[in-house]
Structure 1
């Protein structure tokens, strides 16, 4: 513990010594890795729900310092990070497993669920890039339409469960719609659904809300698995660090499917994550900036007669049904990377919330 205090003290002193500029100057929305072949100008990245302000000052210092230790495994650092994560989520160290992003946790749970053949259930419009491996492992995908207001239809999902169901996936807040489940209704759903199958709740965007995580429910419910990530609010998408929260017995069973649990996380990523958890000021600034820019963007889209779904995240889901121009061509012509049409009925698409300057450029591009 003393070593951790000393390390954090060094990080804090390093931050003061560097004299970081105001919050907005942290923004690093573009990268030399994203350059169109016919131009020297890198695009505005509004497609992957990345945090344009991160990593935090403390994380940057910690990651830079840890590079010199990259010749060693992080045996001493991982337990410190797990303890910090457990404390944040009001669980014990035995309820946490680290992964190289929450995607690795998803992959691990699908392997676990596929030990016995059957099916899995999810909303028809949700984060689904992980589902192909599930089906290749022999599980059948069952989708349940969203409600009219673009939320997970929990009663319908509950009815869809059968004797072959192995897992139910709930993204909350949901990606790409940005909607969130009513907490009490979700708890009630979990209580019933976990009697029959694993419920996997993806809380990648929960930090962009004032909602409390469901992490504490995992302690007594071995069929509830929650995943969180440092990719979004903490601005460490490229560092690849996420984690599972589950009953200790479930973490133990998941661990048997990995040759070296927690070792897929680099020492640099772990150092950045640990420092991020101690930079509450930065997190509050990111939250406030996201809320301000989100409000501006929704107001501007509404003025363009585009229907927006109220967002509990760092992205906006809106309809292009009333848009007369070629939306994606407009983005391309202005060097902006967006996503796609997620629902043909209504022409629903999603845009990531960048900095105020980026969103002003986005609105100007589509006017």
Structure 2
């Protein structure tokens, strides 16, 4: 496996002379305050936790400039991106594996887990669309209820681990509830649970918090895998780019399940991700906007006597128990797309935080 990875690395270095422009030029200092383009759509999309402000200006410029090089493979750029990601996560390049969105990483870990038949443990309710193939792969899914305040019950999840458990999945912050695990408790859980099975932590929404990533823990824990994405905070959901952070031996094992590791992401997407990582001002602006609009949304939902769960993400989980109208019909009548009922007991649903204008329209629609 190492020979295969080394060969790809050599090929990537050799590709430098094939006419690719260096993307450092895209990291020009942005203006004092971003003027976001008018990206509002009809219908208003509040269903998939996307960044309503789009990719950063530097990412858009990088994508446009990289199109002319799309006739070439992105080996050299993937190496540059991996190095930037590794630095951001305080690990080495050999601890990183790129994927076409974190969804590909989720699928890959599921396949890796299924190499040895058994079960995997996750919360109920959490992000579980990626688990649908598990039965066909020969894996049994064990679900553990959330606590009353919609948080992961780490104690109960640990008790659910048995001799056949191959993996435990934790989405932190959790989707759809927006809750987050106490870091010290989660670290303690990982330390003990990883002695029995792989612990797979999904940090898709951690950028919306000030919490420290668990990614640097992989250096000393070969049974910890962390997945992250550029889909949410960075506004690259459609570009499909994410990554895994794990021990180098684990990355080798995951890479062995792919025909060409790190090549499932397009050159255009890689260029966007490189530029995005260098555009810290954009991230700060988006974080601030999300917090302000989220605060407004929760205040308005509370005024409508709807119970909200404190959110550590770019969406809000709330109960429709006290709502007298047909919520989803109200959205449909106002050309707004929401999600569904995630928990029948309490009629819990989720709404993505859009722009201030979009959330004002949302509140008006359900009044």
Q: TM-score, normalised by structure 1?
A: 0.93
CA contact (8 A) 2:27 2:278 kept: no
1:126-165 to 2 correspondences below 5 Å: 126-165=126-165
Q: Which residue of 2 aligns with 1:34?
A: none
Superposed structure 1 runs of 4+ greater than 4 Å apart: none
The alpha-carbon distance between structure 1 residues 161 and 9, as it changes in their structure 2 partners (threshold 3 A), is closer
Partner of 1:25: 36
The whole-number CA distance in structure 2 between the counterparts of 1:105 and 1:213 is: 17
Q: Deviations over 1:7-50 (max 9, x none)?
A: 3453245x87xxx89535335242xxxxxxxxxxx200000000
Equivalence for 1:233: 233
Map 1:20-99; keep pairs closer than 5 Å.
23-30=34-41, 42-99=42-99
Please, which runs of 5 or more residues in structure 2 have no aligned partner? 1-12
Q: Deviations over 1:206-256 (max 9, x none)?
A: 000000000010111111000000000000000000000000000011111
1:266-277 superposed matches below 5 A: 266-277=266-277
Match of 2:123 in 1: 123
> Which residue of the partner structure matches residue 33 of structure 1?
none
SS in 1 for 2:109: helix
Residues 240, 127 of structure 1: CA spacing in aligned structure 2 closer, same or farther, 3 A cutoff? same
Match of 1:278 in 2: 278
Corresponding residue SS for 2:129 = coil
Secondary structure of 2:332's aligned partner: helix
Q: What residue in structure 1 maps to residue 25 of structure 2?
A: 10
CA distance in 2, matches of 1:164, 1:309: 34
Q: Is the 8 A contact 2:27 2:279 kept in 1?
A: no
Q: Judge which range, 252-261 or 20-29, deviates more.
A: 20-29
Gaps of 5+ in 1: 31-41
Distance 1:78 1:9, change over 3 A: closer
Q: Secondary structure at the match of 1:259?
A: coil
Partners of 1:275 and 1:12 lie apart in 2 by: 6
- Partner of 1:26, secondary structure, is coil
Deviations 1:67-114 (A, max 9, x none): 000000011101000000000000000000000000000111111100
> Is 1:326 equivalent to 2:326 in the alignment?
yes
- Match in the other structure for 2:187: 187
Deviation at residue 316 of structure 1 after TM alignment: 0.1
Determine the C-alpha separation between the residues in 1 that align with 2:304 and 2:90.
44
Give the total of aligned pairs.
350
